[in-house]
Amino acid sequence: MPRAERMEDEALALERAVAGADDKPEGVVRLSVTEMLGTRFIAPHLPRFSQRFPGIMLELSCTSRAVQLARREADIALRLSQPREDALVVKKLTAIDLSLYAATSYLEARGQPGQKLDGHDVILFADARPFAIENEWLTARLGRGKVVMRSDSVSAIFAATVAGLGVGLIPRIVGDAEPALSRIATDSAPEPRIIWQAVHRDLARAGRIRAVLGFLSETVVPAARTRSPAGAVPSRRRLP
C-alpha cells in the first residue's frame, strides 16, 4: 500500500507539472467555492469571462467540503477558512462583512428589534465549528428570541429571511442588494469573514489558471469591498 500511494503521488505530481507548464488560456479549470460565493459573486460575471477567454471551460463546484488540490479535486479553491494543505499558494482575497436583516414585511408585522432580539424569530447557522464566530455573536443578542431555523447554507438562510421567517445574519453585499430586506442596526458586527484563495503551486503559472485568478480578483474583491458602516441601516429602507 505505501508503494502504491507513492506511485499515485508521483503520477499526480507529473500530471500537475504537465498542466502547470501549459501557458495557453485554454482548457478546463475546476473552481471550488461555497454556494453563496458561486451564486452571488461569481456566476453573474461569467458571461464577461467567457467572452474574454472563450477557450476556457469553468467547472464550478459549489460545496463547503474541503477539497484536496494536490489530488486535482479542484484547481482553485475559495474558502472561508485558511487552507492548510502543503504546497499551496494561499492568498487572502478579501473580507465579507455581515449584518442582521429581516424582511420588511416581517418588521412591519413584528416591529423593529432592539439590541436584544426579545420576542423575535431568529435564524441561526448550523451548530458546527465553521460557524462558531457567527453563532456566538448572534446568540449573545438572542435574549428571549426564538430560534426557528438552523442551516449550514448561507443561501438557505438568505432565502428564509427574504421569505419572512425571521431575523438572519447575512453578508451585507447580498443583503443590501435585496429590496425585500432591511438591515437591522446593531452596536457591533461579527468579525468579517475572510475569503481565502488557494491554488497548488505546480499549477499557479498555467495560462488558464492565471486567467481565472485574475477574473476572481476583478470580480470578488470589488464586490466584497462595497461596504457601509457596521450599524447603519440603508436610508432607502429605514423603518420608523
Domain positions in the chain = 2-95+193-224, 98-191
Say yes or no to pLDDT of 17 above 60. Answer: no
Identical fold, 2-95+193-224 and 98-191: yes
For the beta carbon of residue 2, count every other beta carbon within 10 angstroms. Answer: 6
Backbone torsions φ then ψ of 218, nearest 5 degrees: -75, -25
Superfamily assignment of 98-191 in CATH?
Periplasmic binding protein-like II (3.40.190.10)
In the structure grid, which three cell numbers stand for residue 228, read together? Answer: 457601509
130 confidence band (pLDDT: 50, 70, 90): confident
Q: Are strands 146-151 and 98-103 parallel, antiparallel or unpaired?
A: unpaired
User: How confident is the model over 197-201, as a mean pLDDT?
Assistant: 91
Q: Are strands 121-125 and 146-151 parallel, antiparallel or unpaired?
A: parallel
What is the chain's alpha carbon radius of gyration, rounded to the nearest angstrom? 21
Rounded distance between C-alpha atoms, residue 137 and residue 157, angstroms: 16
Question: Is 116 in contact with 232 (CB distance < 8 Å)?
Answer: no
Q: What is the pTM of this model?
A: 0.78
In the structure grid, which three cell numbers stand for residue 169, read together? Answer: 445574519
* Range in 157-166, 199-208, 211-220, 222-231 with the lowest mean pLDDT: 222-231
Q: Domain 2-95+193-224 belongs to what architecture?
A: 3-Layer(aba) Sandwich (3.40)
Q: Could you tell me which of 195, 229, 233 has the C-alpha nearest to residue 90? A: 195
How many residues belong to the chain?
240
